[in-house]
Amino acid sequence: MRAFWKGPFIDLFLLRKMRLRLKNRKKNPYSQSSALTLRSRRSTILPFFENFGCKIYNGNKYVWLSTKLHHIGWKFGDFVITKKKCRVIRSKKTSKKKI
């Protein structure tokens, strides 16, 4: 838990990128081409990230996330799954026919 007096954590390079994006924002903020690529899963989603599309790195690939009003205050990493679900596939037993 972060101390309240420190405020929310956000990486400085992310703030610089967002400042440039907000100045040159396109008409469609949800388009894949205007997405912001992030590797900082520990940064907090601030109110100016609302209605903005971003791609977050989960350790293997970038996952698309469009931020909404209810995402504000959470971390970017909370909405990205980093581990695959383990699936067990059983092989069919072949029955031997006795003649």
Task: Give the pLDDT confidence of 42-74 residue by residue, as tens digits.
Answer: 999 988 888 888 899 999 999 999 999 999 999
In a domain, 41, yes or no: yes
Beta-bridge mates of residue 57: 62
Query: What is the number of domains present in the chain?
Result: 1
SS3 54: strand
Q: Is residue 47 assigned to a domain?
A: yes
Domain harbouring 46, CATH code: 3.30.860.10
Range of the domain at 34: 4-79
User: Would 97 be classed as within a structural domain?
Assistant: no
pTM here is 0.71
Query: Tens digits of per-residue pLDDT, 21-50?
Result: 777 665 555 555 567 888 889 999 988 888
**60 within domain boundaries:** yes
